[in-house]
Chain A
Amino acid sequence: MDKKIRADVEKVLANASIASIRSWLKSKGKKLSANTRDRMLDRVTKLIDKGDVTFAELQDAIIGIEEAGGKYIRLFDFKENRTPAEVTAALGKMGIAIQAKRGPAKRNPAKPSVDYAILQGNILRVKWSETHKEPSMDFQADRIIYTPVTKIIVLIANLKSKQVQIRFDRPEKFNPHSIVPGAKDAYFGHYQGQAEATLGGVKFSKSELQNALKHLVEDQPSLVRLHRDGHKNKRNSTFNSTAGHGADIRQDEDFQAMLAKGGKTWAYEEHSFYWRPDMSKGTLEREVFSHVDALDSSLRVDADCWDAEVDYAVQKIRELQ
């Protein structure tokens, strides 16, 4: 085995989970049965050595994983018309140059910074990174330790459909925008403002996701295995129910009775489910978890997701809206 390739692979895969690499390799028709990090590195090194996967493909996959895995994704719409030329000008005013291809995020940047901006046709993609501080207690030394954590934020905007997604890493207690209670909102608000500015000062409104949830619950055959239901009925009562491990809550007789009795009047609020690979026409290689919250128009995905899986989840929700 080429030691130089293995060292490079180890460096590139430093922050990637085994599950995300396994899913990505499966999409390329390659198997990864390894359950340890060392065996995964060996397997990927061999694939590159044999020319089955290129190093550039691996690097691109890692960028895809860091831009998708574990993200909290807020969905927005805007009404204003914007041309690519207007967006290019808006980016220029912000001092952001358009690049040809995406790149990895800076690690622990001193201040919030733009990693890249790409405009391909009507699709604008911008990535930022910044450093948060995670406090923890060193009880022996009786002091608080602040660990720097890189956070990645990705904007994907479609100028034609006027639909936007902003993918956020989960914020830590202390971020560059605020350190007081409610700091999360300052972090989310900062990047919403940046995203609106990159599009030439448009105003985002939250996408309405109730209808998408209604379809995901009621349509048959279903695109998802429904793990958790959360809805309000017309009396404003809230109901939450969670299926047992591996089950679909819709198979539960109590849930069926409730749905038959008042389902038509439900306001769908938040659901957790798994996208079914057998309904994805080959896009998904495994069940992919999502939590959709219609109250704040957001979607959460697992840490071991990669680009194509998250793109699929967002696309399906947009189609069902």
Chain B
Amino acid sequence: MPSKKLENFSRRNPELAPLVQKLMDYIHWLLGQKITKLIPRVAAAQLGISEADTLGLLSLFQDAGIVEPRYDLVCKQTGSVLGSYHSLDEIPDKIECNVCGKEHDADDLRVDLVFEIAQGRAANAAA
């Protein structure tokens, strides 16, 4: 685990070290599958812990520069991601949905917090 921050955290919190390693392994697996985003509730299912605890771990990975938060704008009807944004302020009030072919406003959309994997940092950390 070459990430100094993760190493130090795992040393200080040995009970959490297996979860940190498991999350790192999952991130590495995603990269191997050429998937660049991590969804907290999906990661929670892989780790067998709550979504809240997974978000806690992910904030640690964010501090280590391995993941960065993004806001995915999702069409509620189809579950398709229509756009991905760095901050909530960037999210448009309306958006044309490629999947439905309709213009959606806030009532038709959902915002999901996801984490983009910083590929270089994650690959180094997992090495």
Contacts and interface: CB of A to CB of B under 8 A. Distances in A.
A180 B50 CA distance: 35
Contacts of B44: 210, 267
- The CB with the most chain B CB atoms within 10 A, among A234, A238, A269, is that of A234
Interface stretch (B5-13, B34-42, B61-69): B34-42
Nearest to B53: A208
A201 B46 CA distance: 35
A267 B106 contact: no
Interface residues of A, number: 23
Interface string A282-297: 0000000000001110
A43 interface: no
Contacts of A295: 41, 110, 112
Interface in A232-283: 232-236, 238, 240, 265-269
A206 to B, nearest CB: 9
Given A208-B52, A210-B51, A236-B37, A185 B106 contact: yes
B90 interface: no
A236 B35 contact: yes
Given A233-B42, A234-B46, 14 more contacts: A181-B94, A181-B106, A182-B107, A183-B107, A184-B107, A185-B106, A208-B52, A210-B44, A210-B45, A235-B30, A240-B79, A266-B45, A267-B42, A269-B41
29 contacts: A181-B93, A181-B94, A181-B106, A181-B107, A182-B107, A183-B107, A184-B107, A185-B106, A205-B52, A208-B51, A208-B52, A210-B51, A232-B42, A233-B42, A234-B45, A234-B46, A235-B33, A236-B35, A236-B37, A236-B42, A240-B79, A265-B45, A265-B46, A267-B41, A267-B45, A269-B41, A295-B41, A295-B110, A295-B112
Most chain A beta-carbon contacts within 10 A, residue among B33, B39, B46, B79: B79
Interface in A164-183: 181-183
B105 interface: yes
Contacts of B46: 234, 265
Contacts of A238: 79
Contacts of B79: 238, 240
Interface string B21-43: 00000100110010101010110
Interface of B: 26, 29-30, 33, 35, 37, 39, 41-42, 44-46, 50-52, 79, 93-94, 105-107, 110, 112
B52 A181 contact: no
A224 to B, nearest CB: 20
Contact of A210 (B37, B41, B105): B41
Nearest to A266: B45
Contacts of A182: 105-107
A266 to B, nearest CB: 6
Nearest to B114: A236
A261 to B, nearest CB: 15
A95 B110 CA distance: 35
